[in-house]
Structure 1
């Protein structure tokens, strides 16, 4: 292990973040020796809402991979509801709902077609030497990208090494349960989000895939109280979206490491990079993470390729930290604030009422929850007016 590393770049995890990272690195430097590792064979399923925001395709288009949604009908309508408060609107840019079995496999195909080598391997140990980063004593790489999800082994290795990375338990988390159910007339052609009454943010959803099935599920913020059992989450889903539990199949649950105001700043210096869920990048208001995954994956791949071209792999970490901060820093601070506000039911109601009265507020809520939006003056003003009006009606 003292000489040249086995690989220029090893990407741990072949989900959207990892496959996009490999693709971006090879687009920049097609000659790179890139290994893309995953513990599972593709196609494989993942617990997810399957929503592919247009911002995802904005990232993938320059990489030649925007066609990964081909054959899946775009969804243009979104319904938001909490109790009697309801807003229905047409999204400014449509969303695709593509099963992860399809979306992830297509991205992996694009990465391997570009030159990445897909290896089925579960990484259990990460060690550093003066010459390379070594995985399980078997694989060595000049640069490593950790795209291995919420329970990232790469992240935990960086935690043990000290520095900027906070341990897993220091971040807020949500738990979500997902299944697939036949689409009924009232759920067809739309994304539905209906907030519940438990620990906020807590909501049920139904996202029409366009092929006769809808992605349905329920998620909420995890606390130190009673555990979120499958029975409880199915019960909440049935209460909020009646009929989907009886007809639903393929139920899967997943933990989501929600972004904090520090997310994006935790990337340490050095040749080991973090992306997507492994970097703790999940929207704390909605639980959406695919945009963050592909956006930071693309940044990590380019940064890795540039650092390798300059023969300065140790500079990759600081460069990625700067790039993520420039792209998402302000947005992440705003989503952290929005996530805190969304823990209060009156704020959720005020947001829905404001979006009912002002289509631009509706658009801004969509941007904040699915893309890279911010709390604008218009949105903040609408919330303030509705909250004031609610107090006046008491």
Structure 2
């Protein structure tokens, strides 16, 4: 039997509006006639050789309509003759008195029996990339379709929704991200236009409007990595908190948190998620730009925090812009530092396209901070977001030479950098 029996009819090539009936075809698959009394035992012995297709039965009525026998359908890719059975399978069939002679059964193969990549591979132009990869955010699947896939976008969305249990909405992300509010333009390809979703990450539940806030399901490992460095009684100052993926788990682990986000929608959902996870008493929330947060609430809190013994953590997860905010720490505090000050630890995220990502983010961090960080920091690779583009986290103790100033060189707080619009920060891969 040829593998082509598993492929949809060639007539579906180029289809842009999904016609499920067009995928229906009849194929002949090998089968064994098995006495009903040993059927379960035979199925266990042949589990590697029986047909495995979505929605297809592996056992059907005997063609001779005998109640004493059933037909066990076999995988035509694995079984083409009786010699295809392994020694163990052949021995089992003999022990159960099952004749190894193959029959052929005509089976109707429909759209429901095909996998998403098979449908899309049959529809999209030959020789071009076919992807069914997406990121899942609750009931939403979001994709980054390439130009050659756009004529088929609604069909692709429908196939993804049909083939993925629990997905009721498929969206396509455009290639523009608003770096100010970190949300992106999207269009609904299939399903309901309900963007309010619920997700669970590392045991914490979050709710938000996916169309108006930033959420990346591929950062769960990084969120967990940083939160595990935070101890009960520590303080976390989250400059770009989003809907709370660092702030809320840190609060649940016993930290005191000041969480800020410029996006009013993120701020609203951050407060909602604090209540949802019963940590509102541990998290103080702010709706300020990052520089105003550093030079306002953070500046007010740091002197007292640095006199304590608990650690202070500053999280700056805005990789498109965060390094530009490091200069806000220059001369933030004016008093002379005691020698035993408990200096904050900073976790600052950035994208890098440089061949030497580590050196690149250290050099740029040093330039923004106005202080050399070489040999005074560590750099952690977070994830690859595009070819030759990585997300990195530089971690360092905020130098007292930067934080404390004995002169009046500190400038007035400036406005947040002008909104930048840049290409989407991630590529889509399968989840």
Higher relative contact order (CA 8 A, sep 6+): 1
Q: TM-score, normalising length from structure 1?
A: 0.26
Higher helix share: 1
